[in-house]
Structure 1
Amino acid sequence: MASFCAKLCLQCRSLPFSKTVARTWKCFPAAHHCTAYTRIPVKCLHGFAVISEDEKKTSQARLRWKQHILRNCNFSAEHRTTEVKENKETEELSKASVVAYKNPLLPIRDAVPVTESQMSLDAAAEFSALEQIGDEEAVGISVPSDMPPASTSLRDYVDQSETLSKLVQLGVNLWKLEQRPNVGSMLLRLNFNTDVAPRLLFLKEVGVEHSRFGYIITHNPFILTESLENLQSRVNYLRSKKFSSETVASMVSRAPYLLNFSVKRLDNRLGFYQQHLNLSAANTRDIVARLPRLLCGSLEPVKENLKVCEIELGFKQNEIQHIVKAVPKVLTANKRKLTQIFDFLHNTMKVPHHLIAKFPQVLNAKYLRIRERHQFLEYLGRAQYDPTMPNYISLERLVSLPDENFCIELALATLEEFDLFQKTL
């Protein structure tokens, strides 16, 4: 029994000190007191052990002591089990707190078990969606915008902007517009129903086809900011100058900036061409209708080309007039290209001025096309451009026919022979 109590004492000392252990230590005086009765004297009578009344009391005390010790042992075992559970819970809480610290996106409250009372307190602390707030609190509320705060491409705004999405459906090339300064921000500020739709309806009333809306807005997005009164006044002016409704619609479709210019500017442009070219009103309308960008572009290239044709190329006034009526693009053609083609026609091919003025389409052709075909005809001995001579070849047919027809009708050769000749150049 003494050894048993000693073992129990060692086990109790190994436990961490707590209130429960303190209760266990209170049992040790009784244990020491009971050990005094462990050695009970026994008397023998005629070979039999005789136990007196005192000895019976001692055996009963010993039984009570054993029962008391068993209860203490069970209590110690339960205490150790409880301590183990508490240690496990403490480790789990510490691990959860470490995870919450390492991952700031994980709320700390999710790492700690929440009781029903705590949930009720949290729910009571939250504001109701129907609760009224003051003006100062309302001003302080920040509402996240659906629009990206900043971007270099209009593509990022298409899904959030009704205006941009509708323009894309119309065939507008946003990648071209975003390369122009301040155009992207202008389009984002426009409202489709109040700003864009009325202008599109106006263009439709003028006679512009629906398929041309995308082309017009891509090249001239500023038409969406023009007032409807100004647009209508410019259309009315063109109609007052005896341009038909179909012609006005065609001019607007091919020259998107036409309606952005004031009536005064349009009138000055028409007067300039009529005076400098000595044209009638009908011829002026015909030239402008065929090339409406003459009313939109700068007049400096036009004045320079007129001087080049008169001074450098040596055409007469009536010849220039005829060239412009036949090919209005001569007025806006590149000066270097115009001079190069004329030099080859007049100095290499020996074509006089009056024949070039009679077939002015040659001035609008490609220089390489004219040179290759002339050299092939010269190689075959058929380069004859004088209408008074046999085997005459018209300049118009020289530049207008496809390669196959040119070989068969003018060169009297095959297309393979022409291809082989081009490789020798």
Structure 2
Amino acid sequence: MFSKVIVRCGRSVTNLGHRVFASSFDQDKQSKMDPWEDLAQSVRRRQSAQISQKVKKASFSENVSKEKELSGTEVELVLLGLRGDKTPPTTNVACSSNPPLNTKLVKKYFQTLSVNEVCDVMNSDLRSCTPETLAEVEAYLDAVDKLDPSSPEWDTMTSLFYHPDEDRGIRYNFLPRKSTNFEGYIKHSQTLQKLVMIGVDLSAVQNFPFIGNHIIRLDFERDIVPKLLFLKDLCVYDHNLGLVLTNNPYILEDPISKLQSVVGYLKSKKFSADIIGKMVSKHSMFLIMEIADVDSKLGMFQKMFHLTGDQLREISSLNPVLISHNRKKIQDVHFLLHKIWEFDHNQLKAMFIECPLIFAEDPKKSLQIRLEVLYDMEISNDKIAKNPEVLLGDHHQVRRRHAFLREIGRAHYNPEREGYVALGSLAKYTTEKWCWKSGIPKEHYYAFLKTE
């Protein structure tokens, strides 16, 4: 037992009877007088030789850059390339004939990356990673998430990560894996920073489903600049580029060949480049549609409302939202107006040419209620067809203004009679502007509203 204490501690121990005088002896002289010191040194030399022999035989010798002081049954190894040019962290690896655990994990979870590449990816901000590399990293992190943080497997899996903290609250030095917004990425991503510089509203873009996961992996020069040049070729002004990408970030996801094919189709239908540029600036969702869908939608408008080619091009250029609007809702609005409220084809055509956004309204709620209000006001279909914008206003506002005009005897909406007020103005303008255009003192109108 006494000898075990001496070997473990590696210290010079004298006889118990001479302990009082040990401090006054010279250290070298004391070592020569101590019979247990030679035994302790021989044991340490034998253990060092055994450990060194095992290290040399191990298959992971290529990952060992420096051998430090050997102690017990463990040896401290330095893994190559963990932090690039920085001082690499050390990892305690048990002395055995098996390769280190880090190398095992790399071979198991990373099929196309080397140890150095994996460590570089894990400790970078992932800005320059390819989608294939990110896919392997995500698979590895998914495996980590399934483990219990208190298990030894968790320590093994997370040993690939560089972290100075020893507690469980490890702050990994790379981008967050999951997030509902761009806040955690904007400081690390030059792509997101440059998108903001050109006017893209990331707070609006992040509300589009599935697009954020794609954008953070894009390289600005390689993936986004060609799309910007494509938009500029369509006569989209520089100050509108950010607005276009904000309203339709899916442009960054689709290949540029698909966008060019849609533009080529519109040009084949005699849409000029200037008109296409204006359409893209207003509503660019039609760019990500299939050519067959765009052709089918334009053909439906032309057949449903008996339009000429020039009329169709003019309406499409002024209201490109109709091209990407839900086909079923447009058909439901047409059915509501034609079959239920008995507007004839000529009236529907006039309404579509004058105010096509009516057919983008919700037929079952807003449009139906407005038609009922106009019916109670005894407004004929012919007057509605000549003033279709009245179907786009707030029905409460239309009802109140009509009640006031009826109170003062001007609710006839006949341009040939004195005191004429346009029917469409009931749904437009602010209160002050409507009173001014109608020649009505706003004090009288406000006094009337208080009596309702």
> Is the 2:390–2:425 contact (alpha carbons within 8 Å) kept by the matching residues of 1?
no
Provide structure 2 residue ranges, at least 5 long, that are not aligned to the other structure. 1-17, 26-67, 70-75, 87-98, 104-113, 126-173
Paired AA for residue 421 in structure 1: F
Whether 1:139 and 2:111 are equivalent positions in the alignment is no
* Corresponding residue to 1:287 among 282, 292, 315: 315
Cross-structure match for 1:345: 374
Deviations 1:207-251 (A, max 9, x none): 112222222222322211322222222212112211121110011
Paired AA for residue 448 in structure 2: F
> Is the 1:195–1:225 contact (alpha carbons within 8 Å) kept by the matching residues of 2?
no
Whole-angstrom CA distance in 1 between matches of 2:367 and 2:23: 113
Please list, as runs of the form range in 1=range in 2, the aligned pairs for 1:98-137 lying within 5 A after superposition: none
Whether 1:163 and 2:191 are equivalent positions in the alignment is yes
> Is the 1:167–1:214 contact (alpha carbons within 8 Å) kept by the matching residues of 2?
yes
> Is the 2:285–2:324 contact (alpha carbons within 8 Å) kept by the matching residues of 1?
yes
> Is the 1:288–1:294 contact (alpha carbons within 8 Å) kept by the matching residues of 2?
yes
* Corresponding residue to 1:208 among 214, 223, 236: 236
> Is the 1:313–1:339 contact (alpha carbons within 8 Å) kept by the matching residues of 2?
no
Whether 1:320 and 2:297 are equivalent positions in the alignment is no
Q: TM-score, normalised by structure 1?
A: 0.65
Whether 1:422 and 2:424 are equivalent positions in the alignment is no
Whole-angstrom CA distance in 1 between matches of 2:380 and 2:197: 53
* Corresponding residue to 1:177 among 189, 202, 205: 205
Whole-angstrom CA distance in 1 between matches of 2:249 and 2:225: 13
Whole-angstrom CA distance in 1 between matches of 2:183 and 2:295: 40
Whether 1:236 and 2:213 are equivalent positions in the alignment is no
CA change 1:343–1:157 in 2 (3 A) is same
> Is the 1:309–1:315 contact (alpha carbons within 8 Å) kept by the matching residues of 2?
yes
Paired AA for residue 340 in structure 1: I
CA change 1:409–1:157 in 2 (3 A) is closer
Please list, as runs of the form range in 1=range in 2, the aligned pairs for 1:17-416 lying within 5 A after superposition: 18-19=20-21, 139=115, 142-143=119-120, 144-146=123-125, 147-152=174-179, 153-335=181-363, 336-348=365-377, 350-387=378-415, 389-400=417-428, 402-404=430-432, 406-407=434-435, 410=438, 413-416=440-443
Whole-angstrom CA distance in 1 between matches of 2:390 and 2:22: 115
Deviation at 1:22, TM superposition (A): 10
Deviation at 1:267, TM superposition (A): 1.3
Deviation at 1:198, TM superposition (A): 0.6
The sequence identity of aligned pairs, in percent, is 29
Deviation at 1:17, TM superposition (A): 6.7
Larger Rg: 1
Deviation at 1:345, TM superposition (A): 2.1
Whole-angstrom CA distance in 2 between matches of 1:409 and 1:20: 112
CA change 1:228–1:378 in 2 (3 A) is same
Deviation at 1:272, TM superposition (A): 1.0
Paired AA for residue 288 in structure 2: N
Whose helix fraction is larger, Structure 1's or Structure 2's?
1
Deviations 1:262-320 (A, max 9, x none): 22221111111111111111111112111112111220000000011111211111001
CA change 1:202–1:19 in 2 (3 A) is same
Segments of 4+ moved more than 6 angstroms: 20-23, 125-130
CA change 1:376–1:18 in 2 (3 A) is same
CA change 1:402–1:216 in 2 (3 A) is closer
CA change 1:186–1:355 in 2 (3 A) is same
> Is the 1:233–1:263 contact (alpha carbons within 8 Å) kept by the matching residues of 2?
yes
Paired AA for residue 115 in structure 2: V
Whole-angstrom CA distance in 2 between matches of 1:205 and 1:270: 24
RMSD: 3.3
Whole-angstrom CA distance in 2 between matches of 1:210 and 1:256: 15
> Is the 1:217–1:223 contact (alpha carbons within 8 Å) kept by the matching residues of 2?
yes
Paired AA for residue 441 in structure 2: T
Whole-angstrom CA distance in 1 between matches of 2:228 and 2:416: 57
CA change 1:188–1:405 in 2 (3 A) is closer
Cross-structure match for 2:30: none
CA change 1:351–1:160 in 2 (3 A) is same
> Is the 1:323–1:357 contact (alpha carbons within 8 Å) kept by the matching residues of 2?
yes
Deviation at 1:254, TM superposition (A): 1.6
Cross-structure match for 1:98: none
Paired AA for residue 119 in structure 2: S
Deviation at 1:167, TM superposition (A): 1.2
> Is the 2:301–2:307 contact (alpha carbons within 8 Å) kept by the matching residues of 1?
yes
Whole-angstrom CA distance in 1 between matches of 2:442 and 2:398: 17
Deviations 1:143-170 (A, max 9, x none): 4223324241322112222211111212
SS of 2:413's equivalent in the other structure is: coil
Whole-angstrom CA distance in 1 between matches of 2:305 and 2:21: 117
Paired residues in the alignment total 307
Deviation at 1:405, TM superposition (A): 5.1
Provide structure 1 residue ranges, at least 5 long, that are not aligned to the other structure. 1-15, 24-120
Paired AA for residue 20 in structure 2: S
> Is the 2:211–2:253 contact (alpha carbons within 8 Å) kept by the matching residues of 1?
no
Paired AA for residue 315 in structure 1: F
Paired AA for residue 124 in structure 2: S
